[in-house]
Amino acid sequence: MSPAVWKDRIFKTAPTVALIVGAAMAVDYVVNILLLKAPEVYTPFTTLLVSLVVATPLAYWMTRQRLRLERLRDDLSASLDARQKAIEEADRRRAEAEKAESLYRLLGDNLTDHVALWSPTGERVYSSPSIQRITGYTLEEFMALPPQAMVSKAAFDSVQKLIGGLTPGGPPATADYECTRKDGSSIWLESAYSLLGDGSGILLVTSRDITERKRLELDIAKALELAETASAAKSDFLANMTHELRTPLTAIIGFAEVLRRSRGLNQTAARQVGHILDASNTLLSVVNDVLDFSRLEAGGLELDPAPFDPAAMASSCAALVEERAVAKGLVIKVKTGRGLKPMNLDGPRLSQVLLNFLSNAVKFTAHGEITVALSQKVEDGAAILRGAVTDTGIGIAPEHLDNIFDRFSQADAAVSRRFGGTGLGLAISRRIVERMDGQIGVDSVEGQGSTFWFEVRGPLAELAAPEADAAPPLDGEAGVRLLLVEDNAVNRELVKAMLEPFGVEVETANDGVAGVEAMRQGQFDLVLMDVQMPVMDGLTATREIRAMEGARGAATPIVAMTANVLPEQIATCLAAGMDDHLGKPINPTKLLEAVARWSGRTHTKP
């Protein structure tokens, strides 16, 4: 024990010792002096000594006991305080829990969505009463149902798989599935599944009725399917129609061209043949516009960027309309500025836009001039190309300017009656330019003229050097032996009429089988192959010819000659083993060029 403790003990024991000693001394005095009156036996010193000896340990023991008791009392009161606090804390918590529970119950009872808790062993622990509104089962009935009662096996299995992938406290997984209600009707539920993160392994599932949403989705999907089917049917119809229209046009344009070139016509007949040619070419451009527009509407315009020369584009487009312009007494000026750089853009599509502007300018201008102007703004390896066609024609009234680029839009009925047209040209042009992320527009003053313009952006490019070994044009001495595989007798006659004056010997076959047989028997410099034919089509015939040649080693160029002119149809021809493609109606110049180009060569593709 430390001296301080000793001091404390002595301090606390001393009063007791003094009390006992005092008492003993008082008893000694009272008994011996006052009562017995025997002072001789009154021995205060001995009493003091004896009482001191007896009282000190007794007092010390009593003090210790008292201190122990005091400590015990303190401990007891501390533990009573602690207990009281614990009871108060427990009461507070119970009150809070009761409040929370009543809130949760209120929530659970009034939820429109369904909330459920599942034990790790797959028993239902809790289900909110909203289950009755959703499924028609009372809460008690529902709690007794097996988990898979209302869903198909496939839906149940896929949800089980989803649950198997959950992690405690992790993100929820969701699933849509169809359920059968108590009355047999069907509903769609969307459920979110999550494992509680408290280690209890309890699965929380919240479900909501999405029948209405699902019905809308299904309706939309059905409508979309119907629209897609209708659109596919429309595209098929248009493809068939244009094919069917092209076939007779091939004969009309082709023979008109043959007649025009022949020298035996008198002046009147030559003029009339010219009219046939003009009219049939107009009809062909309408057919082309309709096909083009339907493809653009269906989003099927694939751009094919390649290096092209804008200045050459302007001159060749101007040349194409020059004859018509001169016939009306109009002057065409081409202003391309100096140093226009080649660009990497879909040149043919851009030419289509410029040509459409030019054709309209010639069509809607009675006198004056038409100017084609091209300019370029070059920055960082790219350029903005602006093309504009200005005329001094009838102009466009301000109220028509806004929708002039819409499909089937013509300025007014009187104009369309006077000039004809489909109202598709500018709509096609707008789609082409927008597909190139460019801009298109018009400035016009009624009665004074119009400027139609476009602006497109594209990278600068290097033009490839022109082919050195360009084929010389055919002459009467060509001596080319050609096999024409074509089921249409008129077309066979037409091709012969176009080629024979140039010294081309044309042998014909009426279908693919006859074509393959002719190739087996004879030697040809070139094959012109129709695609759609009875008995055997041109693609199959080409494959058979290529297989046959594979064994023999020699390979004759085959050029498709078909009214199938869509890019994917051209690609199919090349994939079948053909070398080139000529569209119908047959353009005599292009036909002669193709014969000159291919008759001196061999097929080189694998």
Taking CA 361 as the corner, what is the angle to CA 359 and CA 366, rounded to the nearest 5 degrees? 115
First to last CA, the chain: 111
Give the Cβ contact number of residue 57 at 10 Å: 11
Based on CB atoms, which residue is closest to ligand ADP, 410 or 569?
Answer: 410
Q: How far apart are the C-alpha atoms of 212 and 216, rounded to whole Å?
A: 6
Interface mask (CB under 6 A) for ligand ADP, residues 333-362, using x and -?
A: -----------------------x---xx-
Contact call for residue 364 and ligand ADP (CB under 6 A): yes
**What letter does residue 457 receive in the DSSP assignment?**
E
Cα distances (angstroms) measured from residue 437 to each of 345, 538, 605? 11, 39, 36
Q: CA 321, 322, 324, 325 torsion: positive or negative? A: positive
Among 249, 301, 372, 411, binds ligand ADP (CB under 6 A): 411
Q: How far apart are the C-alpha atoms of 20 and 130, rounded to whole Å?
A: 84
Among 187, 205, 343, 396, binds ligand ADP (CB under 6 A): 396
Contact call for residue 387 and ligand ADP (CB under 6 A): no
Report the SS3 class of residue 480.
strand
Contacting range for ligand ADP; rule: CB under 6 A; set: 174-182, 190-198, 297-305, 402-410: 402-410
Token pair 């001296």 is at which residue? 3
With beta carbons less than 8 A apart as the criterion, state whether 452 and 387 touch. Answer: no
Contact call for residue 416 and ligand ADP (CB under 6 A): yes
Calculate the CA dihedral of residues 520, 524, 525, 526 and round it to 10 degrees: -70
Among 131, 354, 424, 519, binds ligand ADP (CB under 6 A): 424
Contacting range for ligand ADP; rule: CB under 6 A; set: 40-48, 166-174, 326-334, 408-416: 408-416
Contact call for residue 372 and ligand ADP (CB under 6 A): no
Question: Smallest distance, Å, CB 295 to ligand ADP?
Answer: 16
Among 347, 387, 421, 458, binds ligand ADP (CB under 6 A): 421
Based on CB atoms, which residue is closest to ligand ADP, 349 or 546?
Answer: 349
Question: Smallest distance, Å, CB 360 to ligand ADP?
Answer: 3
Question: Smallest distance, Å, CB 362 to ligand ADP?
Answer: 9
Based on CB atoms, which residue is closest to ligand ADP, 250 or 288?
Answer: 288
Contacting range for ligand ADP; rule: CB under 6 A; set: 78-86, 139-147, 425-433, 494-502: 425-433
* Farthest CA pair distance, the chain: 191
Q: How far apart are the C-alpha atoms of 102 and 90, rounded to whole Å?
A: 18
Among 391, 487, 511, 530, binds ligand ADP (CB under 6 A): 391
Report how many residues bind ligand ADP under the rule CB under 6 A.
Answer: 23
Based on CB atoms, which residue is closest to ligand ADP, 363 or 603?
Answer: 363
Based on CB atoms, which residue is closest to ligand ADP, 336 or 365?
Answer: 365
**Residue 450, phi-psi category: left (phi > 0), alpha (psi -120 to 50), beta (remainder):** beta
Contact call for residue 393 and ligand ADP (CB under 6 A): yes
Contact call for residue 394 and ligand ADP (CB under 6 A): yes
Token couple for 383? 């350029």
Residues whose CB is less than 8 angstroms from the CB of residue 499 and which lie 6 or more positions away in sequence, other chains included: 482, 506, 591, 592, 595
Q: How far apart are the C-alpha atoms of 461 and 449, rounded to whole Å?
A: 35
Question: Smallest distance, Å, CB 390 to ligand ADP?
Answer: 9
With beta carbons less than 8 A apart as the criterion, state whether 55 and 21 touch. Answer: yes
Question: Smallest distance, Å, CB 287 to ligand ADP?
Answer: 13
Among 342, 425, 515, 585, binds ligand ADP (CB under 6 A): 425
Question: Smallest distance, Å, CB 520 to ligand ADP?
Answer: 49
Closest CA to 329 of 392, 270, 412: 392
Contact call for residue 423 and ligand ADP (CB under 6 A): yes
Contacting range for ligand ADP; rule: CB under 6 A; set: 61-69, 373-381, 422-430, 473-481: 422-430
Contact call for residue 292 and ligand ADP (CB under 6 A): no
Residues whose CB is less than 8 angstroms from the CB of residue 430 and which lie 6 or more positions away in sequence, other chains included: 405, 440
Question: Smallest distance, Å, CB 335 to ligand ADP?
Answer: 17
Contact call for residue 415 and ligand ADP (CB under 6 A): yes
Contacting range for ligand ADP; rule: CB under 6 A; set: 119-127, 211-219, 343-351, 410-418: 410-418
For the chain, the residue count is: 606
Q: How far apart are the C-alpha atoms of 60 and 179, rounded to whole Å?
A: 87
Token couple for 322? 């020059």
Question: Smallest distance, Å, CB 387 to ligand ADP?
Answer: 14
Give the Cβ contact number of residue 282 at 10 Å: 12
Based on CB atoms, which residue is closest to ligand ADP, 361 or 504?
Answer: 361
Q: Letter for the amino acid at 483?
A: L
**Residue 597, phi-psi category: left (phi > 0), alpha (psi -120 to 50), beta (remainder):** alpha
Based on CB atoms, which residue is closest to ligand ADP, 307 or 423?
Answer: 423
Using CB under 6 A as the criterion, which residues of the chain lie in contact with ligand ADP when the complex forms?
356, 360-361, 364, 391, 393-396, 404, 409-411, 415-416, 421-427, 450
